[in-house]
Structure 1
Amino acid sequence: MKLKLEARQKRQDGQEDSTDVGSETDKSSTVVSISKVSNRANPSFLSFSKRKFSRFFACVAILSLWLFIGIKGWAAYGEYAKQHESEELKPVSKIAALQSGYPRLTISDSAGEKVVDIAPQAVVVLNNVPATIKDLRKGDAVSVELNAEKEITKITARRTAGGYVLAFDPNSITITSDYTDRSRTALTPDTKIVAGGKRIALTDITRGDCIEILADKEGRAVEVIRFEHSIIAECFDNFRKNLFKPLLLFFYMGFAIPLLKIAFDFPQTIYQGLTIYLLVSIGWHGGEELATFSGGTLKQAFVFMGIGFVTNFCLGIVAFAILRTFVKRMRQIDAATVAAYYGSDSAGTFVTCMGVLQAANIAFAAYMPVLLAIMEIPGCLVGLYLVSKLRKRGMDVKGNMPMETGYAGPANLASVEEEAAAHEIAGEGNFEMLETKFGDPHVAAAARSVVKNDKPNRDASTAELMREVFLNPGLFLLFGGIVIGFISRLQGNSVTAQDDQFFVVLFHGILCLFLLEMGMTAAKRLKDLKQCGAGLIAFGLIIPNIFATTGILIAHAFSFAVHTPFQLGTYALFAVLCGSSSYIAVPAIQRIAIPEASPTLPLAASLGLTFSYNVSLGIPIYLAVAEHILRTYPVV
């Protein structure tokens, strides 16, 4: 009995001990779980992941850089504007006509033209030198003083020639105003050279300086005024001039519509009509100008077209290499497609740049619309070339490559039975059944590609691609407009004058409506940028500047090679053709030949980023860069 009581006592003690251990274990686990919950509920700066911290630091760095550039640019522009305002004489009016027999002066100002009698003893001063009425010319800027009889008693006239220095010596100075013309002015020992309100020596002038020349009645320089300038100040000046032009205001208005969630949809039919008009109008005007070219100019234009084609093809390959190097999260098939977009050009950006140049009276070569058509093709070929290489390297049916997430093996049908079924379905001419059969559009696309490996179907596929590349609707309308404008102009101005009222005069108004729709489309694409990541966003904003500058340098090298100076507008348009990206031709090729690629990523970068950047900031920057290169290294 005693033994039983001892055993029972031991069992009870053991249960108590195990209960104590269990309770201690529960307490410790509760403490640990509470600690974990507490840590999750109270995050700190130190709990940021490395990726989040990198993104935060990158955003702060980019904002700081833009702020620094903005402050420096605004300060530089302030000095630039202040100097021009202080050194520039603001004339009251300009001479519209001059009657020296019975002295009368017709002057024009903001209120219109008016005729004023000149007093017999009137004093005339031309560029700070005494002169006579006969020394005055139409277009001279004048300010006048009147007596009680409303007759002119004093005329202070100013006749200037402004431009950029090409060459100079102690006896003369040669300048250009549009980088294609040349004007030489004689210097004398009494010529005054001024910069910033202070007198300087002739040796202080360098090639590329912006100057204004005041000459006497014999055409000799009385005073030479040098203006300080910098590329940052010129960028801000160009941006300021373009910021409130109707073209950009319509784009901004369209951009605001989706952001403000305004219930407005631009009718697709009207958009198509605007696109047709703009393409035909560009071609018409370019064809008219081509008809006036000589044989030598046409030969130069064709060589430049070939250079543009090769340039955009190479830029597309470079874009792919950059994406593979710096945007490693992007699939190779998507990188190839985005590169194809950036190896082509943008008709919308081109027509916007044309509108800006025309509004600023900046001339450009008439054959540039032909380059728009020629330089759209390389991007399509780049995409087809890169994707064909990826397929040979084992791309699967969903576009994944080896070592990429979700890779399922080379793109072929899973079994001989499925291949036979695909042939059977395709043999009945019912390709729509392929998706039903395999349950996945990507597998269906692969099945179709296998079926089309039969020679007749493969040839048909190639013919379809080539037709889409070289005979897509945009290229056809553009080339058609060029041919019609060329043939019509050869018959004389009277044949084209009436049609010019539609194709030329209305161009700016139609372009404003087009940019309204493009602003809406660009804003809608912003939501797709969430899928892009910071790398593609940086690519879409930085690469246009690099490619456009490359285009400017290539155009300038060609200008040196042919010993022919190009107009500033030609550089700007070629920069836009290199620095823009397609949103019409390449997407059509993608739907036919690259169904595995993402349809949203390329358009988000092309429309949401690059197009918006180019039309608002890019074009003024490209103009300033081209001007700086032309002044620093002029073609003489």
Structure 2
Amino acid sequence: MSTIIDPAILFFIFGVFAGLVKSNLEIPQPITRFLSLYLLMALGLKGGFALHQSGLTLAITTSLGIAIFLACVVPLVSYFFLKTKLGALDSAAIAATYGSVSAVTFITATQYLNHVQIEYGGHMAAAMALMESPAIILAIFLANRAKSSVSQTKQSLKVGKLLHESFTDGAQLLLLGAMLIGILSGPDGQKVMAPFSVDLFKGMLAFFLLDMGLMSAKSFADLKGKPRVLFLYAFIAPLCHSLLALSLCLLFQVELGNTILLMVLAASASYIAVPAVLRHALPEVSPALYMGMSLGITFPLNIIIGIPLYALIAKWALGS
């Protein structure tokens, strides 16, 4: 229950309630955009300061390797499973959504770990950044292959352009840039930036989660009339993905805090970066499909129940 009584989580629940009762409460879009960029900047700085202190160790390299592996395996497994129930393009879109990650879910998980005093590595912010793009690239490749087989014409997949868009996306670039600045500036930079990146962080997160609650409530309507398998997938897939991450962490003896965050990342689903790409890459697929699943079911599930559940499972598995 400790996560439920956290003010940031309560603001999220309040936002869902306000949306469900059709309140006119609304956060202006420019403010929402600023809040998301602020959270990524603060997270990147925190990770950079931690990496400056620890350096690049075998444990850090192992965690990053597991993150990349998960980012490749999860969308592939998701695609071939969903393809038995849905069309190839719908399957590819959902696989990209669930193979990528949610930065806000990750940030909320770091706050939960701080609250329960479980240590984790600052390099996990880099793990999050590395996990965002592979699912998009793989899913669009699979979708283009499906299109080619149907039309019997070769459609060129502009991998270079896709890679450029993925790695120069403003939010991701800000995260990596802030991390680099944190590494370069070290303890002196950490002291200077603390009022901005530490003292304001919790309040900014609470405000942002309020808006996410409002958006989640609106996304519930997008799920009307969708196949039941999508509801089951949105509930069950996060747990399955988190258990896959846990098994890898147990195999490579990853520390508790980093294990929990890898489980959270594997369980999360993108609702910002992936939809922005898919609207152009797969216009045949309705955004209501993957947005309704990720933002209407998986995101609130992870924020309210998932994060403490994954932590509990990890503690049990690691004997902590």
TM-score range, shorter chain: over 0.9
Matched, 1:536 2:230: yes
Counterpart for residue 228 of structure 1:
none
Which residue identity lines up with residue 100 of structure 2 in the other structure? S
Q: Is the 8 A contact 1:468 1:588 kept in 2?
A: no
Aligned-residue offset at 1:343: 0.8
Counterpart of 1:244 in 2: which secondary structure? coil
From 178, 194, 217, give the equivalent of 1:523.
217
Q: Does 1:614 align with 2:302?
A: yes
Identify which of 10, 14, 17 aligns with 1:249. Answer: 10
Q: In structure 2, do the counterparts of structure 1 residues 331 and 366 end up closer, same or farther at CA, with 3 Å as the change threshold? A: same
> CA separation in 2, counterparts of 1:475 and 1:487?
19
Q: In the alignment, is residue 310 of structure 1 matched against residue 4 of structure 2?
A: no
2:284 to 596, 599, 612: 596
**SS of 1:243 mapped into structure 2:** coil
Is residue 123 of structure 2 the alignment partner of residue 364 of structure 1?
A: no
Partner of 2:195: 501
Residue 481 in 1 paired to residue 178 in 2? yes
Preserved contact between residue 528 and residue 601 of structure 1 (Cα < 8 Å): yes
**Are the aligned partners of 1:320 and 1:339 in contact in 2 as well (CA < 8 Å)?**
yes
1:166-190 per-residue CA deviation (whole Å, 9 max, x = no partner) reads xxxxxxxxxxxxxxxxxxxxxxxxx
TM-score (norm 2): 0.95
Cα pair distance change 1:509/1:386, threshold 3 Å:
same
Q: Which runs of 5+ in 2 are unaligned?
A: none
Alignment partner, residue 276 of structure 1: 37
Letter in 1 for 2:234: G
Aligned pairs for 1:386-425 within 5 A: 386-394=142-150, 410=151
Using the alignment, how far apart are the partners of 2:63 and 2:133 within structure 1? 15
Q: Which has the higher helix share?
A: 2
Shift of 1:294: 4.0
The 8 Å contact of residues 342 and 582 in structure 1, kept in 2 or not, is answered as yes
Q: Distance in 2 between matches of 1:367 and 1:246?
A: 26
Task: Give a deviation string over 1:93-152, Cα, whole Å, max 9, x none.
Answer: xxxxxxxxxxxxxxxxxxxxxxxxxxxxxxxxxxxxxxxxxxxxxxxxxxxxxxxxxxxx
Tell me which amino acid in the other structure corresponds to 1:603: M
Structure 2 residue identity aligned to 1:608: G
**Is the 1:465–1:593 contact (alpha carbons within 8 Å) kept by the matching residues of 2?**
no
Identity of aligned pairs, percent? 33
| Residue 102 of structure 2, aligned match among 346, 369, 376 | 346
Structure with greater proportional strand content:
1
1:300 aligns with 2:59: yes
How far did residue 242 of structure 1 move?
Answer: 1.5
CA displacement at 1:317 relative to structure 2: 1.0
Give the Å deviation of 1:411: 7.8
What secondary structure does 1:590 align onto? Answer: helix
Instruction: Determine if contact 2:67/2:128 at 8 Å carries over to the other structure.
Output: no
Residue 383 of structure 1, CA deviation: 1.2
* Alpha-carbon offset, residue 504 of structure 1: 1.4
Pairwise CA distance, 1:609: 0.6
Q: Which of 1 and 2 has greater Rg?
A: 1
Task: Say whether the 8 Å CA contact 2:216–2:295 is kept in structure 1.
Answer: yes
Let me know the Cα RMSD of the aligned residues.
Answer: 1.8
Instruction: Tell me how far 1:462 sits from its aligned partner.
Output: 4.5
| Structure 1 position 580, deviation (Å) | 0.6
Instruction: Say if 2:245 is the partner of 1:551.
Output: yes
2:312 equivalent to 1:624: yes
Aligned residue number for residue 127 of structure 1: none
CA deviation after TM superposition for structure 1 residue 463, in Å: 4.1
Spell out, residue by residue over 1:219-246, the C-alpha distance to the aligned partner (whole angstroms, 9 max, x if none).
xxxxxxxxxxxxxxxxxxxxx2222211
Separation (CA, whole Å) in 2 of partners of 1:600 and 1:349: 20
Distance in 1 separating the partners of 2:135 and 2:264: 15
